[in-house]
Amino acid sequence: MPSNQLTESGQLRHFLTIEGLKRPLLTEIMDRAEQFSGISHRQVKKVPLLRGKTIINLFFENSTRTRSTFELAAKRLSADVMNFNINTSATSKGESLLDTLHNLEAMHTDMFVVRHDQSGAAEFIAQHVAPHVSVINAGDGCHAHPTQAMLDMFTIRRHKHDFANLRVAIIGDILHSRVARSQIQALATLGVGEIRVIGPQTLLPRESQTLGVHVYHDMESGLEGVDVVITLRLQLERMQGALLPSAREYFRCYGLTEEKLKYAKPDAIVMHPGPINRGVEIASSVADGPQSVILEQVTHGIAIRMAVMSMALASQSEQAEIE
């Protein structure tokens, strides 16, 4: 865990990874999200908690759903939000990342939400921001996507209530998935009974056994008796890297269909972090079926991001009072 992720009192200063965080803190994030989840159903979908705060979305990698939910979350907390357009910024004209960062800091920014295709980018930025600024990792390379993992945990808790007796299966490209790494860390921290990963050998990390997961290469035995099924997006460029023969072959072996889902428990829920490649990692009849909670995940993303933003900025205010 990055040494500067928590304050001296153990509160979130930045949110960069699930790794190293304790179970009470993950539970606190979900409890706080539970409080915020009702705001989306109000006529006026706002609370004044972050009024006067400035949050900048620094997305060096394209994303529609993640950026939109971060932006909505910040606005529902009454913060001022700016989406920094990398393609038209001085960064594209040769300005260094740190120069760009310090210029944005000079605008009295309180928080950066960072998405980058390089692992470790969010932590690098967190190491160089001013003490009063928080950094939230919105996905970095193959490393981590902690808010996605927490909205997934929140969704599981809403449906299954107790993590201890659950069997959870994650299907697909575990090797390159920052989502899967953060999910596995969160599931283990919350005490899930059994975590399974299912996929071809070419898409599983060599250190799978050290992650505390059970490895399966076929869907039938991997899905047997599970309570939660998480399918991962398959990056189609993997098809060109000799890691997989073809999309059709992948779907035949690892695509989640109604027939394969029958190996799971009858009340198992189906999740997917999106965006979905229908007919590649999941059949439309399952993605839109009665066991799917995929759209609930999107809704919960707003509440989880409201929780994380409010907790990080609250700890910054407390630290400022101490100093």
217 annotated to a ligand binding site: no
206 annotated to a ligand binding site: no
157 annotated to a ligand binding site: no
248 annotated to a ligand binding site: no
User: 50-61: string of b/e by CB count within 10 Å (b at 16+)?
Assistant: beebbbbbbbbb
159 annotated to a ligand binding site: no
CA angle 64, 261, 161 (to 5 degrees): 70
Residue written as tokens 């799978």? 208
Residue partners of 46: CB distance under 8 A and separation at least 6 = 39, 75, 76, 77, 78
Q: How far apart are CA 164 and CA 168, in angstroms?
A: 11
275 annotated to a ligand binding site: yes
Beta bridge partners of 197: 170, 215
Closest CA to 203 of 193, 195, 215, 191: 215
148 annotated to a ligand binding site: yes
Q: How far apart are CA 219 and CA 259, in angstroms?
A: 11
- Alpha-helical regions (H) of the chain: 23-37, 65-76, 97-105, 121-128, 146-160, 178-189, 219-223, 247-254, 258-261, 284-287, 294-322
178 annotated to a ligand binding site: yes
Annotated binding site: 65-66, 93, 115, 145, 148, 178, 233, 274-275
Annotated binding site for carbamoyl phosphate: 65-66, 115, 145, 148, 274-275
Annotated binding site for L-aspartate: 93, 178, 233
